[in-house]
Structures are given as C-alpha cells and as structure tokens.
Amino acid sequence: MSTEKSFAKGSPAPAPVPKDCIRLYSMRFCPFAQRTRLVLNAKGIKHDTININLKDKPDWFLEKNPLGLVPTLETPAGEVIYESPITCEYLEEVYPEKKLLPSSPFGKAQQKMMLEHFSKVTPYYYKITAGRRSGEDVSGLEAELKEKFAKLNEDLVKKKTKFFGGDSVTMIDYMMWPFFERIELLELKNPLNDTPELKKWTECMLEDPAVKATMFGADTYKAFYKTVADGKPDYDFGL
Ligand SMILES: N[C@@H](CCC(=O)N[C@@H](CS)C(=O)NCC(=O)O)C(=O)O
C-alpha cells in the first residue's frame, strides 16, 4: 500500500504495518523524508508509505512520534524510529545486503562528521527563502552559503573522488542530495558555477536510480513552496 494523499487530523488510523514490510510516514516534498526514501529505494526495501498533513496532523501520528516530524518509520512489531539520519542508519543495519556505509569504524565516523558539517548548510535554505519572502537583504546569507559550497567542493578536490564517500554513491551523498535537488528554491545566480566538482557531483547524482525514483522537478517544488508561503500548504499538490 502506498497512500499518496496525505492523512490529516480526523482521518482513520491506517491498518497495522504488514508483516513483511516496513512503513514510512512521510510528506512528499520533505527533504529529510527524502533521505529515508532514497535509502529505502537504493536498498530495494519493501515498504509502504503514509503521507501526513503536517499542518493538521492526525492524533494517531502524534502518538507514534510526539515530535510530529517526518520521516518516521514503523516496523510490524510497532517499533517507531525517527530523525532522518537515525532512520537511515537503522535501515542500513537491518537491511545490510546493499551496504551504503563503510564497514570500518573510522569510515563510519567520517561519514557522521561530514553530516555534522552539512547540518550547518541546511538552515540557510530556510533563512534565505524566508528572508526573501519578507523582503530582507539576503546577500550576506547567500555569500555564507556559497562559502559552505566552496568547502564541500574542496573536500571533493582533496579526495579526488566523484562522490563524498568514494567513487560510488554512499550514505552521505543521500543525506546531502535532497538539498541540492531543491537548490533552485534559493534563487541564487549560478549557484554552483564556482564549485565545478560539486556541480559534477550533482550531475552524477542525477544518474543514480534511487535519485531518479524519488525526485520532483524544480517547477513542482516552486509550486508546492508557494502554497507553503501562502500559509496553505498543499501536501497533495499534483495528485
Ligand atoms: N531533524 C529532523 C527534521 C525533520 C523535519 O523537519 N521534517 C519536517 C518536514 S520537511 C516536519 O516534519 N515538519 C513538521 C513540523 O515541524 O511540525 C530529521 O532530520 O528528520
């Protein structure tokens, strides 16, 4: 089962998670939930998806995850896992066939450190888009973000690899990708022109089957985030 339309407050609770399946509570346009969708997809994990209306959440969802955030996973045994990096690490451990993390403790630690650095990038997406909406001068924020992109570029140059964890896609690439898929929302002028390796990375990522399977186009994101900015998020946009 995959519900596309979102469940809002008052919607009946979905059936229990089927025995051979894992469930993802999601929102179709959420970059954090996309991390989990990428991992589910890359590993070919059988799952169902319940989309949540995040403005008007069902009580049964809040009972599962009191933070009320997506992504949230639920197993047939009723175990609930949330916070995107935690959901992805859980999937890596439970479904180890196609590995996305290195096996050495140092390799794993390196990916976590990269993610920690990257977690300083994501707030700019909210600050810049909100700043623009309220007519603020966001040029300082833009410059800071470009500086962060330059650091990521330098990282790829030093490593001499196509991806952040080597020459094939690994977990860290999937953790970062959703924010690059949405880069046009920032309305920056040629955002990756000064960072050619990072730009090449985005081109390589676009070839990845899990990326292709989970992505939306820039026009869809723009239209969805316009509904958010107008205070009436249309979680079912395009359905
Ligand atoms: N730190 C969380 C962030 C997840 C998050 O912010 N998800 C948003 C949707 S993009 C959400 O669920 N928002 C609902 C709310 O804030 O009430 C993670 O990495 O999973």
Q: What is the pLDDT of residues 11-48, one digit of tens each?
A: 999 999 999 999 999 999 999 999 999 999 999 999 99
Class of domain 22-99: alpha beta
Mutate-to-test residue for ligand 1 from 32, 51, 90, 224, highest number of ligand atoms within 8 A of CB: 32
> Token digits for 231?
């205070």
Tell me the average pLDDT across 151-169.
97
Nearest to 177 by CA among 100, 72, 237, 107: 100
Within 10 angstroms of residue 44's Cβ, the number of other Cβ atoms is 12
Distance 32 CA to ligand 1 centre (A): 7
Mutate-to-test residue for ligand 1 from 6, 27, 70, highest number of ligand atoms within 8 A of CB: 70
- Residue 2 is predicted with a pLDDT of 53
Ranking 84-88, 176-180, 189-193, 206-210 by mean pLDDT, the lowest is 189-193
Q: How far apart are CA 175 and CA 88, in angstroms?
A: 9
Confidence of residue 216 (pLDDT cuts 50, 70, 90): very high
Beta carbons of 46 and 100 less than 8 angstroms apart? no
Confidence of residue 196 (pLDDT cuts 50, 70, 90): very high
H-state helical runs in 8-133? 31-42, 59-64, 84-94, 105-118, 122-133
Confidence of residue 200 (pLDDT cuts 50, 70, 90): very high
- Residue 217 is predicted with a pLDDT of 94
- Residue 1 is predicted with a pLDDT of 44
Residues of the chain with CATH 3.40.30.10: 22-99
Query: What is the CB < 6 Å shell around ligand 1?
Result: 27, 30, 32, 54, 68-71, 83-84
Q: Share the mean pLDDT of the chain.
A: 96
Residue 30 catalytic?
Answer: yes
CA distances from 181 to 34, 92, 130, 199 (A): 10, 23, 18, 12
Residues of the chain with CATH 1.20.1050.10: 105-207
CATH 2.102.10.10 fits domain 105-207: no
Beta carbons of 109 and 71 less than 8 angstroms apart? no
Judged against a pLDDT cut of 50, whether residue 228 lies above it is answered with yes
Tell me which DSSP letter residue 97 carries.
S
Distance 70 CA to ligand 1 centre (A): 5
- Residue 3 is predicted with a pLDDT of 60
